[in-house]
Every structure is written in structure tokens, then in C-alpha cells.
Amino acid sequence: MAKGPIVRGLLIDPMPSSWWKLHRHQVLLVVGVLVGFYLCSHTSDAAPADSPRPAHTVPAAPTSRPHSAPTAQR
């Protein structure tokens, strides 16, 4: 006598993965990039750039009258 197939349980399709489980790596990547950009743009570890001093190429013409403001003698 031929034996029939043995049924050992019911095969059911697994539940589809949730949106979070499918996309969490992308969400965390975007959050990490945004946090990194925020931290880098709001820190000022570097020394502030010195403003360049004005360079005089031609000395001032001498005048015969004294300065109007008193200056300290060195």
C-alpha cells in the first residue's frame, strides 16, 4: 500500500516586515548626517581669523600744525 504525504504542520506566510524594520537604517543614516552637520556648524574650535590691518602704502604728508588730540609721550 502506498503511503500518502505526511503533513507536519501548516505552512503559513510570514508576516510582512514593518516599515520601520525595512527602513530604519536609512532613517538612522539621515538622522546621523543631520546631527553631524548641526554639531559641525555650531562649534567654533578654530581660532577666529584676525582681521587684516590696513596697510599704508604712502606715508601721510607732514603738516606744520600739531595734532589736535594729545598723544602720550614714550
Q: Which amino acid is at 8?
A: R
Q: What are phi and psi of 31, to 5 degrees?
A: -65, -40
28-55 average pLDDT score: 81
- Whether 25 shows a pLDDT value over 80: the answer reads yes
Taking Cα atoms as reference points, which of 23, 43, 24, 47 lies closest to residue 35?
Answer: 43
Return the pLDDT at 2: 67
Q: How far apart are CA 67 and CA 73, in angstroms?
A: 13
pLDDT score for 33 = 96
Print burial letters for 21-46: b (CB count within 10 Å at least 16), e (below 16). eeeeeeeeeeeeeeeeeeeeeeeeee
Q: What is the mean pLDDT of the chain?
A: 76
Tell me which of 3-7, 15-19, 59-63, 69-73 is least confident.
69-73
